Chain A
């Protein structure tokens, strides 16, 4: 008996969903738009944090040493620096490596090459590239190096030159994160309100049916359940629609960004996270649909 009622309820919900035609389509569209906005906000947030992580990884302090400092000394200093808690990595770049990097890809008769030749040998310094865990620690690391036992072996540090850029990037990331968080919350709230209202209007247009159902002897549960099934279906259909829409968005963005980001990278992100995004959207969509239906129909069952 319970099973019979359950299958009937699901059948009811499915029939209503199909037979409501345009009303269902409109509800799904609104649901899809809300989910799309939420999905885009979340994805933008995620990719922004990936990018910002990337950029932060590139910030570093290069410490250039006088030409008379031996390689063993430098490796000793490197080990010493690596012991700091704040330091993530120290990379040793020898004079030869520096020259190699400089000349890499230059033409045989390029100006740089001529300049190096004119200097009569390798004019570059050996250096240690220091990276911190937290960009906020560079100031401290810089002064620690300046006051260290090997200070007089240092030719120059490029921190002062990069300092401005580092600080500016840092504030930019913080602002962007806060703005993103606030707009994200705003959009999610908006999506909830819009979906709720749309489902409510859909059910409002059928409120007389609920009365009829009760008059012919349907219990409240029996009136309510099909609408909740409908809510689930709206959520599912909305999530599917958004997956398609997102696929298109990813494709367009990947086409627009040819040359700036490695080709195919953006599309591969879509396919890599397909399951996760779908799961998130289905969960959010059905939850929204069910809660909206439940609240809305309760209003019409008061009596």
Chain B
């Protein structure tokens, strides 16, 4: 369970990105975060993976206040969270296999475990036949699937997807969303920030609407617009 308790974020220049956010995301739920650019979606997500700190209030991750985690230990904390971004954030010098295995290597997993785990995950996202390719040799959809495989490799408690479909064609978009739904079925909490009306409407799960740093609506089986 992730809890935002009266969270406010003010950036230098008195820009209020988030204002008094109170939010609870249940374990195993699927949440879509919608709203125009600059509404504060990304800032809210960044607070979960400790890339930004609240100016006021507290974010609690599975009963643990994130602000209590020592900076040195942040890399270990981040292994609880899988992240997927609009720009994929793959390492261009590494093959699909290496991009995914890197997340295990930094963890200190043995080569045997890596050689066993990585193909399994790549099979789930359907990239088993492309694992020796470099990101530049892949389509956008395939790159995002690689990124998703990397996010999943730790079997994280939470998947955070910030506009994961923003750069993709319609078919690839839907592929990615279905993968996210599948992951959620396995019990992983998924938080999706999206601009895409079609997709959010089709998912038919909890929708949180944001505007100007505030939560403006929260519906159980919501649509992009009311």
Contacts and interface: CB of A to CB of B under 8 A. Distances in A.
Report whether chain A binds chain B: yes
Interface of A: 1, 4-5, 8, 15-16, 19-20, 208-209, 211-220, 222
A217 B91 contact: no
Chain B: interface residue count, which band?
Answer: 20 to 34
A214 B107 CA distance: 12
Contact of B106 (A15, A20, A209, A222): A222
A256 to B, nearest CB: 45
**Secondary structure dominating the interface of B:** loop
B106 A217 contact: yes
B72 to A, nearest CB: 8
Contact of A20 (B72, B93, B94): B93
30 contacts: A5-B108, A16-B93, A20-B93, A208-B89, A209-B91, A209-B92, A209-B93, A211-B89, A212-B90, A212-B91, A213-B91, A213-B102, A213-B106, A214-B78, A215-B51, A215-B83, A215-B89, A216-B83, A216-B102, A216-B103, A217-B78, A217-B106, A217-B154, A218-B75, A218-B102, A218-B106, A219-B72, A219-B76, A222-B75, A222-B106
Contacts of A217: 75-76, 78-79, 103, 106-107, 154
B108 A216 contact: no
Nearest to A4: B108
Interface in B69-117: 72, 75-76, 78-79, 83, 89-94, 102-103, 105-108, 110
B171 to A, nearest CB: 26
B9 interface: no
Nearest to A15: B93
**Secondary structure dominating the interface of A:** helix
B49 interface: yes
A20 B89 CA distance: 18
Interface of B: 49, 51, 72, 75-76, 78-79, 83, 89-94, 102-103, 105-108, 110, 150, 154
A211 B75 CA distance: 12
Contact of A216 (B51, B76, B78): B78
A8 B103 CA distance: 13
Given A4-B110, A19-B93, A216-B106, 7 more contacts: A5-B108, A209-B91, A212-B89, A212-B90, A218-B106, A219-B75, A222-B75
